[in-house]
Amino acid sequence: MDFLSSLFSFAYQAGDAFAFLVLSACGLAVIFGMMGVINLAHGEFILCGAYVSTSATHLGVPLPVSILLGTLVAGAVGMLLERAIIRHLYDRPLDTIVVTWGVSMIATQGTLILLGSTMQGTGTPFGSIEVGGYGYSVYRLVLMAAAVATLAVLWLIFTRTRFGILARATIQVPHIAEALGVNTSLVYSLTFGLGAGLAGLCGGLYAPTMTLVPTMGSAFVVEAFVTVVVGGADIFLGTAPAAAILAVVKAALTSWEGQLAGQIGLLVAVIIVIRVLPRGLTGFILRERA
């Protein structure tokens, strides 16, 4: 029983870290992996999702609906941003870094000026369960399920829908796709919107568990980038396994020596992976297959 409860505890901690890494990284991974754009405003899409969903909850909208609302609003803002700015910079990838960084600063400071330094939280729903003498938050189990569901839905979108096939075609050989009648500019917009929406989803899901402030996006960004860097360009071959490995590393080190060790372990893992596998896990897995 004691063994079982510590097993559950480790699985819970690793699952919790996995959910955090997957949810915070998959929006970034879609935009980077599919479009090659390094989106430094990723944290601010998360902020957008969190603020929209929390405001909706305060207005009496049920939580799942308000999370969906946050996702949609973040996605719409993402598409707008792509139309207005990002699309003019597709052949200048370094400039997109600077531009999205600028957007991120404007968004953070704009939120501070317009909405003030903080927003009241909504409280975490569902309470807790007890296993082997420890209390566990049920909502965090929901977050784990949400992470897995998000991956599953993304997989269905990219492999089973017309949009997914067109998107992959456009990303692979844009000119041929265009010649075959694909509206590539729409595909780019939608893909960027999808990435932004996923960030919004992450914000909406984590909003009930966190402090709501204009800088909250930065709490996700480091982990998101670490996961994407370790994973490489592909979400399913890269981001998901990367998140799983990093989650185990982080959970093990945090339970052994505390948060500092967990953070150090995460970053050391990244350094090792970049040194050994320059194209991330994606490159590794694809080479193995070939």
Q: Which residues bind another protein (CB under 8 A)?
A: 9, 12-13, 16-17, 20, 108-109, 112, 116-124, 126-128, 130, 133-140, 208-216, 218-219, 222, 251, 254-255, 258-260, 262-263
CB atoms near residue 289 (< 10 Å):
7
- Residue 59 beta carbon to another protein: minimum distance, rounded to whole angstroms: 15
54: nearest Cα among 142, 138, 120, 125: 120
Nearer to another protein, 109 or 183 (CB): 109
Decide: residue 149, CB within 10 A, 0-12 exposed, 13-18 middle, 19+ buried: exposed
- Residue 114 beta carbon to another protein: minimum distance, rounded to whole angstroms: 12
- Residue 231 beta carbon to another protein: minimum distance, rounded to whole angstroms: 19
- Residue 99 beta carbon to another protein: minimum distance, rounded to whole angstroms: 21
Distance CA 126, CA 120 (A): 19
- Residue 251 beta carbon to another protein: minimum distance, rounded to whole angstroms: 7
Largest interatomic CA distance in the chain: 63
Six token digits for residue 194? 């999808």
Helix (H, G, I), strand (E, B) or coil at 137: strand
- Residue 111 beta carbon to another protein: minimum distance, rounded to whole angstroms: 10
Q: Cβ distance 59 to 212 under 8 Å? A: no
Residues 6+ apart with CB under 8 A from 189: 79, 82, 83, 87
Nearer to another protein, 265 or 280 (CB): 265
Nearer to another protein, 36 or 116 (CB): 116
- Residue 143 beta carbon to another protein: minimum distance, rounded to whole angstroms: 10
Nearer to another protein, 133 or 181 (CB): 133
Instruction: Give φ, ψ of 252 to 5 degrees.
Output: -65, -50
Nearer to another protein, 185 or 263 (CB): 263
Nearer to another protein, 37 or 212 (CB): 212
Nearer to another protein, 10 or 155 (CB): 10
Distance CA 132, CA 134 (A): 6
CB atoms near residue 172 (< 10 Å):
10
- Output Rg (C-alpha) for the chain, integer angstroms: 19
Nearer to another protein, 108 or 282 (CB): 108
CA neighbours within 13 Å on the CB side: how many for 211? 8
Which DSSP state fits 125? S
Residues 6+ apart with CB under 8 A from 225: 25, 28
- Residue 31 beta carbon to another protein: minimum distance, rounded to whole angstroms: 22
